[in-house]
Amino acid sequence: MTTSDTATDAQLSALETRFEDTIARSERIEPRDWMPEGYRKTLVRQIAQHAHSEIIGMQPEGNWITRAPSLRRKAILLAKVQDEAGHGLYLYSAAETLGVSRGELTEMLIEGRQKYSSIFNYPTLSYADVGTIGWLVDGAAICNQVPLCRTSYGPYGRAMIRVCKEESFHQRQGYELLMTMMQGTDEQRAMVQESVDRFWWPALMMFGPPDEDSPNTAQSMAWGIKRNTNDDLRQRFVDMSVPQAEALGVTFPDPDLKWNAERGHHDFGEPDWEEFMQVVKGNGPCNAQRIAHRRAAHEDGAWVREAALAFADRQREAARA
């Protein structure tokens, strides 16, 4: 946000103090409040990537809507993917309170200038992946998203409360699908284990590189935008997932995974950060495909959006005449 040219240094510092006091009191910053430009930009980047992730995240699961093996599963999956469109919409709206439009953000996404979560650059190869994404990927997302309901920026926090409320069924439906499949045939059990093997490491990578490699985390935490470190969240996720896997009857593909009584947490192996960096750089299995799909939808829809505007203009003119 730009400040008026006439603002003196003293006035500016008073604004900064007020902003920092608000954060220190754990109160929310609202769209009309003064905020440092760095805070605003960091928020735009974070909310935008979150919104993009919801929208791109429709694709891997959407891949199975037309092949869902029961009508009940088809309804659940379609409703879930639809929710993701809604969540993207809520989040784009939160970003719009910071002066950037949904159209702008969409263009930056399809031009590859803004990012989304790497997890969606992995392919979905069997119906069990629908369950695994619900369980592990949405499970990891829960660890990330619940703290965001208390994020310092009001519109983001409120969007996240609606998202979390609606998401409460997402992880459950995934786990329930896997549970049901594990009670089915041997082929189905093998399908579940294969899917878990494929998604475990990418799910761990969702929390990002180790803290010592994330230099700007401290500023985001001080501003109350980010509330937990990458490693904290990853540990919480592993500890949460292990008993769930046992109840399900599957294993995780990590020989180093074991309970450490001294720490009161599970020890676990190191994800392949080289693969992670490759996927982040655009060389993942599905990066190009996901963007091309989103670009096609956006461009194919341009004539429809334009027609609706032309129609609205015409209606307004008619009303005036």
Binding to other proteins (CB under 8 A): which residues in 3-22?
3-4, 6-7, 11, 15
Residue from 127, 201, 252, 268 in contact with other proteins (CB under 8 A): 127
Nearer to other proteins, 255 or 303 (CB): 303
Nearer to other proteins, 9 or 255 (CB): 9
Shortest distance, CB of residue 195 to other proteins, whole angstroms? 13
Identify residues 66-105 at the interface with other proteins (CB under 8 A).
Answer: 66-76, 78-79, 81-82, 85-86, 88-90, 92-94, 96-104
Contact 100, 112 (CB under 8 A): no
Candidate ranges 174-182, 193-201, 254-262; the one touching other proteins (CB under 8 A) = 174-182
With CA atoms as reference, report the closest residue to 54 among 135, 137, 129, 127.
Answer: 137
Q: For strands 265-267 and 258-260, give the pairing.
A: antiparallel
Cα–Cα distance, 15 to 108 (Å, whole number): 32
* Entry field: residues in the chain: 321
Shortest distance, CB of residue 74 to other proteins, whole angstroms? 6
Residue from 124, 132, 188, 193 in contact with other proteins (CB under 8 A): 188
Nearer to other proteins, 53 or 132 (CB): 53
Shortest distance, CB of residue 89 to other proteins, whole angstroms? 5
116 touching other proteins, by CB under 8 A: yes
Residue from 119, 192, 250, 291 in contact with other proteins (CB under 8 A): 119
Contact 127, 64 (CB under 8 A): yes
Instruction: Retrieve residue 107's tokens.
Output: 């263009």
**What does the H/E/C string look like for 111-160?**
CCCCCCCHHHHCCCCCCHHHHHHHHHHHHHHHHHHHHHCCCCEHHHHHHH
125 touching other proteins, by CB under 8 A: no
152 touching other proteins, by CB under 8 A: no
190 touching other proteins, by CB under 8 A: no
User: Greatest CA separation found in the chain?
Assistant: 79
Nearer to other proteins, 70 or 255 (CB): 70
Cα–Cα distance, 311 to 319 (Å, whole number): 12
193 touching other proteins, by CB under 8 A: no
Shortest distance, CB of residue 138 to other proteins, whole angstroms? 9
Residue whose pair of structure tokens reads 């599963």 in the numeric block: 73
Shortest distance, CB of residue 204 to other proteins, whole angstroms? 10
Distance of CA 317 to the CA centre of its chain: 42
Binding mask 209-238 for other proteins (x = CB under 8 A): x---xxxxx--x----xxxxxx--xx----
Cα–Cα distance, 278 to 276 (Å, whole number): 5
Nearer to other proteins, 269 or 301 (CB): 301
Cα–Cα distance, 232 to 203 (Å, whole number): 15
